[in-house]
Structure 1
Amino acid sequence: MFSYRHAFHAGNHADVLKHTTLIATLRHLMQKEAGITLIDTHAGAGLYRLDGDYTETGGEAKDGVVKLFAALRPLGKPPATAAPALAEYMDLIASFNPAGALRVYPGSPFVMHHLLRAESRDRLKLFELHPTDSKVLAANIAQLEAGRQIAVAREDGFEGIKAFLPPPPSATGSKRAALLMDPSYEVKTDYGRVSACIQEQLKRFPTGTYMVWYPIIPRPEAHDLPRRLKTLSNQSKRPWLNATLAIGQDPTHGPEDRPGLTASGMFVINPPHTLKAVLQAALPQMLAVLGRGRGQGQTVDSGG
């Protein structure tokens, strides 16, 4: 159960898609002054070294954020014109690497913290059950000295969010929340738990913004998840958006090589009305840089 470590995959193409979508969504939501509760159900360690043992072993950042920076923001050269969402994503990553070289990658907790507004009294709730990652996460967050603005719990995020949704009212009396759910899907039951959890939260707090990352792999549960989320959104009469990115097979790998993850998606319930256009501008450029072989593609669908 605890064999998955996101440190092996930090900064890969899935993180590029996930965090670009996350930043674009939160930026829009934070145009309103009212405070918002942010929740990350599977927070991981929070920060990752791109020159550490884990990332060097997997090397997935090289086909993700490193490749993106090399093409669109090369050191010592004028940057290429990037789609606004990608430019903001790279700006945020660069803020964690003031020396220039990419050595640190911020996970979702630090992406969210970077966007928190003290004046609006935004709050961040982080859940991580992995014994090692939860300890590292707590230590990383402690360095921020954010006080009550951030809460970290070594707890099952699927269950832990029930205490925070519906969220407490902001200073203006409105209730606002955005949730990111990106389990490892290491066990097949994660797919069912995601859909069941989203179904429950849509009943408890139908106006929240729910962001679900999922892998696109040859497994029935994986194919069924976005369809299930679409059905739940339609049944609840809530708008939805589904964005996918497939970078394709590495042409240097032979048929006996394990391909690894080559595609993933982000499903957003109650997305900002601007998100579709933002991703339609960013995803083709993302694919042009990160695509590498057969099976490339990207889509942005919406409904509701």
Structure 2
Amino acid sequence: MNYRHSFHAGNSADVVKHAVLIALVKALQRKPSALTLIDTHAGCGLYDLGGPDALRTGEAAQGVLRALADADPLLGDYRAAVASVNEGPEELRLYPGSPRILAQLLREQDVLILNEKHPEDAQALRRAMRGSNAAVHERDAYELWLAMLPTRTPRGVVVVDPPYEQTDERARITATLAAAQRKWSHGVTVIWYPLKDRAAHQRWKDKLRQLGIPKFLNIEHWLYDADQPGIYNGAGLFVVNPPYAFAQGLPPLLEALRTALAPEGHRGTMTAAWLNP
């Protein structure tokens, strides 16, 4: 499955991923100690919703446009993050990827490390992050993930958001996560994934469960009331070692997201459950 960022910028998966990521980082920032934020598959950083890739799919109409039209205050931080890269709250031309959103959240003591292996996207990322304090790398994502651990700051977050173009992507994530846990067992890791085939996804969850990670939260957003064979059905996030404040505040945020993003004629489901209860 090809999930190149530029074709899907601002879709429902981006809305959920970025709203949850903002809530996670803000919860961690309740403590003053420094954070290192690492994005292993950073993409271009900023996307033109009027560009040929985004227009080809038109997915923003069922994602960010719905979230911006929803007045729920729980989505306020997300709406503000999108508005900050546009001329004003009423205009939507650009969509911020995770790098730009993470950069907005940085405190003076925090560190942002970005990685993008695709040469053209890496160039675009450097342009998008010009003027920020982010370090931009152009390396294999899984090699960088391990090389950066443990972080130099007391705490950190690794965001893993691959395009799932390679058939062994999930196997590489599983193996790298296992190695990362041995080096950095207390760190926070966020892994995004698309939902297409329920049985295949369950097999991957079973393999991740076998890693024996104690605090392993699974967030799933199924768009439709019944599976739609052969198409994109939604997306999810695995969160390793989520802070207590984040986990406690998650249910109302997820309900707000489900309501805002439910396709016409469907209620959809949004769940959060521990992989190893």
| TM-score, length of structure 2 as denominator length | 0.91
Match of 2:73 in 1: 82
Q: Does 1:33 align with 2:32?
A: yes
Letter in 2 for 1:5: R
2: distance between equivalents of 1:284 and 1:9? 23
Match of 1:243 in 2: 219
Q: Deviations over 1:183-228 (max 9, x none)?
A: 1112220000011111100000001000011111117553333333
What are the ranges of 5 or more consecutive residues in structure 2 without an aligned counterpart?
Answer: none
1: distance between equivalents of 2:97 and 2:28? 20
1: distance between equivalents of 2:16 and 2:236? 8
2: distance between equivalents of 1:221 and 1:156? 25
Give 3-state SS (helix, strand or coil) of 1:244's partner.
strand
Aligned length: 273
Give 3-state SS (helix, strand or coil) of 1:241's partner.
strand
Alignment root-mean-square deviation, CA: 2.2
Give 3-state SS (helix, strand or coil) of 1:271's partner.
coil
Match of 2:105 in 1: 115
Conserved in 2, the CA contact under 8 Å of 1:42 and 1:157?
yes
Give 3-state SS (helix, strand or coil) of 1:207's partner.
coil
The verdict on how the C-alpha distance between 1:259 and 1:296 changes in structure 2, with shifts beyond 3 A counting, is: farther
| TM-score, length of structure 1 as denominator length | 0.83
Conserved in 2, the CA contact under 8 Å of 1:216 and 1:223?
no
2: distance between equivalents of 1:63 and 1:246? 14
The verdict on how the C-alpha distance between 1:295 and 1:185 changes in structure 2, with shifts beyond 3 A counting, is: farther
The verdict on how the C-alpha distance between 1:103 and 1:260 changes in structure 2, with shifts beyond 3 A counting, is: farther
Shift of the alpha carbon at 1:93?
1.2
Conserved in 1, the CA contact under 8 Å of 2:72 and 2:256?
no
2: distance between equivalents of 1:295 and 1:89? 22
Greater gyration radius: 1
Identity %: 35
1: distance between equivalents of 2:216 and 2:28? 15
1: distance between equivalents of 2:20 and 2:173? 19
Q: Deviations over 1:232-291 (max 9, x none)?
A: 2xx24x3121111112289xxxx9xx9642211111010011223322102222222211
2: distance between equivalents of 1:31 and 1:42? 26
2: distance between equivalents of 1:249 and 1:107? 28
Give 3-state SS (helix, strand or coil) of 2:182's partner.
helix
* Map 1:228-239 → 2, pairs under 5 A: 228-232=207-211, 235-236=212-213, 238-239=214-215
The verdict on how the C-alpha distance between 1:161 and 1:229 changes in structure 2, with shifts beyond 3 A counting, is: same
Q: Does 1:53 align with 2:43?
A: no
Letter in 2 for 1:154: E
Shift of the alpha carbon at 1:37?
1.0
Give 3-state SS (helix, strand or coil) of 2:19's partner.
helix
Match of 2:184 in 1: 205
* Map 1:179-218 → 2, pairs under 5 A: 179-218=158-197
Q: Does 1:165 align with 2:149?
A: yes
Conserved in 1, the CA contact under 8 Å of 2:219 and 2:237?
yes
Shift of the alpha carbon at 1:124?
1.1
Match of 2:237 in 1: 266
1: distance between equivalents of 2:72 and 2:137? 40
Give 3-state SS (helix, strand or coil) of 1:167's partner.
coil
2: distance between equivalents of 1:263 and 1:282? 17
Conserved in 1, the CA contact under 8 Å of 2:196 and 2:230?
no
Give 3-state SS (helix, strand or coil) of 2:157's partner.
strand
Tell me which of 82, 90, 106 is aligned to 1:93. Answer: 82
Give 3-state SS (helix, strand or coil) of 1:214's partner.
strand
Letter in 2 for 1:205: W
